[in-house]
Structure 1
Amino acid sequence: MSDLHDLCKFPVRPIDSGYVKQLNHYLTSGIPATYTVEEAYKVLNNIEDDDENSESVSNTTPLHLICQHVPKDLSSEELSIVEQMITTLFEYGAGWCFIDVNNNTPGCILIERGFHNSSLYQLILDAGVRAELLLRKVSEYDMEFIDEDDVPNQEDEVVPELVTELTKEQEEIEVVQKSNKPEIDDAPDAPSQNQDSYLNTKLEYVDNALITKDRKDGVMMSWESDLMKLGCDSLFKGSIIEENEIDSEINILNIGFGMGIIDTMIQAENPTKHYICEAHPDVLKKLRDDGWYEKSNVVILEGRWQDQLDDLLTKGIFFNGIYYDTFSEHYSDMLDLFDFVVGLLKPYGIFSFFNGLGADRQIIYEVYKKLVDIDLQNYGLSVTYTDVEVPKETLQYKDKSVWDDVKRSYWSCPVYYHPEAKFIEL
């Protein structure tokens, strides 16, 4: 372990400005903010990277150490110093979501130690949002990441510091994306990662769940029923024009039928028109077998929403409520969906969705919560969240879990953030 790592364990109290000064000294001397305990161990013991006799498997960075060792009885002055240290590490390229030997990010460690509502956790959360927004902006311009050694010296070229910073942001997003998925799902053509693969994968309805037949990926499960009820209630709030005025024509759109949980609830409210957009052939078969095609107020849109919603815009069909819950789609798909939502939603309508964004790690889940808020504001929509305690069976409880016979879990957070978005009132 290096002097930098020792410093981040707070060996001396009180924690004063000398800590920040010493940290800056190490970082300005060229020690990376991502320098791990593992790397330091190898250097101190002259161990090559390919040496199979290495005893250390730690990937602990200085930021991990700060989160592990920050005292719980900090004074306000000490808290300010620790905040400065974390901020300084981020300025020098520390990774907000790097994974240590225990599969924890710095944010995970703070949650486990009871710092979830602290300013220290907020610093890491904000860093995650910045990293995602930066990576997205870079991707828009299809920038190629290059090494510093490949950057020309001309003054009008891209500066090495910027290239290095962007590369670090890209790397840490890739790290967390890999850490959030079980090894079985790393392949880009896995049904959970690739929509074409999913649409060509056989599904089966078993034991109150919808799963992929061969791999046993969880597509939808009955534990979501209470969350679906929240979604249904939100959609019909969009039928209220004013306090005492209800829309005479209530149209609801649900994207992704799955097990039909929310659609059954929607039907119980007897909307004027109930549109269901579904692409998977096995789910469409269930829709047909269960009689949904014969319901007088139901319109089935067979196919991907990306191919179906343009027609609704062309026909001038508007909705009081739009719900989104699909499988094998990602946040980039949701951003595309927002373009349609603002065109299809009535002025007083409500948009909601099954909020499973990054829900296999709480810090990632909360980063996406903030991202959705930021992105919807760009579309003139505001989002409010209702905190809901998820059923205990979604977590490992008394050696039992709903995931026991399912290879791919899509949930591991203790709280569900139910979203409800509507147009911002001017």
Structure 2
Amino acid sequence: MDPRRKEYLSTEVHYTEESLRIGEHYVMHEWERPLIRRMVENLKITSTDHVLEIGFGLGISATLLQQFRPVTHTIVEPHPQVLEQARQWQGERNGVHLRQGYWQQLGSDSTHFTAIFFDPFCDDMAAVDDENISFLEFASRTLLAEDGRLAMFCIHPFLPLDYQRAMFAHYRQVEIGVVQVEPRDTADPTDKWSGRMISVVLYK
């Protein structure tokens, strides 16, 4: 998402038990939970980790990450209404820090994190791949500590060549696992792949 797009921040948010929609665009669905759970499991979070999470959404990944009680858990979320949901979720949880903004606004002075969960929203599907690859490069240079891990929500059931180039240029190890999901209440992004999505974790 281009951080210069101010109109997005005033777009109305709609929560249901099954999904989060911002304006006319779906952001997250409850049916994604099996994939998100696998991504968190594959990150291998421990109580010594400093975690960065990009995008709060329905709070599924945030809740799963908190089960491992990391030292710190920083959540970056641009939309004020979604951020308010995050504040309510935060409650008395120790070590949770909320930061309003886009990942592109994280500077070189940011803390080095040992684990990152990357699942932002972008309503311009044509820009998703470029933004994801830009983050992979930025995270390796600026955000991740040595031997840090990054879990990336991938909209593809495979890794396109551009992703592979970026990953192997900036990370020493790539782990991919297949996860079965059952999309509902929306167009099925896995229709051609029989519900197959992938969990992707990178090691710096």
The amino acid across from 1:231 in the alignment is M
Once residues 26 and 37 of structure 2 are traced to their aligned partners in structure 1, the CA distance between those partners, rounded to angstroms, is: 20
Q: 1:325 Cα deviation (Å)?
A: 0.6
Q: Which residue of 2 aligns with 1:402?
A: 185
Structure 2 unaligned spans of 5+: none
| 2:85 is equivalent to residue 286 of structure 1 | yes
- Alpha-carbon RMSD across the aligned residues, in angstroms, is 2.4
The amino acid across from 1:333 in the alignment is E
Once residues 350 and 222 of structure 1 are traced to their aligned partners in structure 2, the CA distance between those partners, rounded to angstroms, is: 25
Larger strand share, 1 or 2? 2
Residue from 5, 9, 15 that aligns with 1:205: 15
Q: How does 1:152-171 map to 2 (within 5 A)?
A: none
Q: TM-score, normalised by structure 2?
A: 0.84
The amino acid across from 1:274 in the alignment is H
Residue from 167, 173, 180 that aligns with 1:376: 167
The amino acid across from 1:219 in the alignment is V
Q: Which residue of 1 aligns with 2:29?
A: 221
The amino acid across from 1:327 in the alignment is F
The amino acid across from 1:402 in the alignment is D
Once residues 349 and 206 of structure 1 are traced to their aligned partners in structure 2, the CA distance between those partners, rounded to angstroms, is: 35
Residue from 335, 340, 363 that aligns with 2:138: 340
Once residues 282 and 372 of structure 1 are traced to their aligned partners in structure 2, the CA distance between those partners, rounded to angstroms, is: 32
Once residues 344 and 276 of structure 1 are traced to their aligned partners in structure 2, the CA distance between those partners, rounded to angstroms, is: 14
| 2:26 is equivalent to residue 260 of structure 1 | no
Once residues 137 and 164 of structure 2 are traced to their aligned partners in structure 1, the CA distance between those partners, rounded to angstroms, is: 15
Structure 1 unaligned spans of 5+: 1-190, 240-247, 358-364, 395-400
The amino acid across from 2:198 in the alignment is Y
Once residues 283 and 256 of structure 1 are traced to their aligned partners in structure 2, the CA distance between those partners, rounded to angstroms, is: 9
Larger helix share, 1 or 2? 1
Contact 2:38 2:199 in 1 (8 A): yes
Q: 1:210 Cα deviation (Å)?
A: 0.3
Residues 369 and 387 of structure 1: is their aligned pair in 2 closer, same or farther, counting only changes over 3 Å? farther
Aligned to 1:296, the other structure's residue is in SS state coil
Q: Which residue of 2 aligns with 1:91?
A: none
Residue from 104, 114, 132 that aligns with 1:306: 104
Residues 256 and 279 of structure 1: is their aligned pair in 2 closer, same or farther, counting only changes over 3 Å? same
Aligned to 1:288, the other structure's residue is in SS state helix
Aligned to 2:120, the other structure's residue is in SS state coil
| 2:172 is equivalent to residue 422 of structure 1 | no
Q: 1:199 Cα deviation (Å)?
A: 2.9
Residues 409 and 200 of structure 1: is their aligned pair in 2 closer, same or farther, counting only changes over 3 Å? farther
Once residues 138 and 43 of structure 2 are traced to their aligned partners in structure 1, the CA distance between those partners, rounded to angstroms, is: 16
| 2:128 is equivalent to residue 320 of structure 1 | no
The amino acid across from 1:301 in the alignment is R
Once residues 5 and 94 of structure 2 are traced to their aligned partners in structure 1, the CA distance between those partners, rounded to angstroms, is: 31
Contact 2:74 2:99 in 1 (8 A): yes
Cα shift readout 1:119-166 (whole Å, capped 9, x = no counterpart)? xxxxxxxxxxxxxxxxxxxxxxxxxxxxxxxxxxxxxxxxxxxxxxxx
Q: Which residue of 2 aligns with 1:387?
A: 178
| Structure of greater relative contact order (alpha carbons < 8 Å, 6+ residues apart) | 2
Aligned to 2:11, the other structure's residue is in SS state coil
Q: Which residue of 2 aligns with 1:272?
A: 71
Residues 385 and 287 of structure 1: is their aligned pair in 2 closer, same or farther, counting only changes over 3 Å? same
Q: 1:256 Cα deviation (Å)?
A: 0.3
Q: How does 1:8-407 map to 2 (within 5 A)?
A: 196-213=6-23, 215=24, 217-236=25-44, 249-290=48-89, 292=90, 294-307=92-105, 309-310=106-107, 313-315=108-110, 317-328=111-122, 330-342=128-140, 343-357=142-156, 365-366=157-158, 368-391=159-182, 394=183, 401-403=184-186
Q: 1:276 Cα deviation (Å)?
A: 0.4
Q: 1:348 Cα deviation (Å)?
A: 2.1
Once residues 387 and 196 of structure 1 are traced to their aligned partners in structure 2, the CA distance between those partners, rounded to angstroms, is: 37
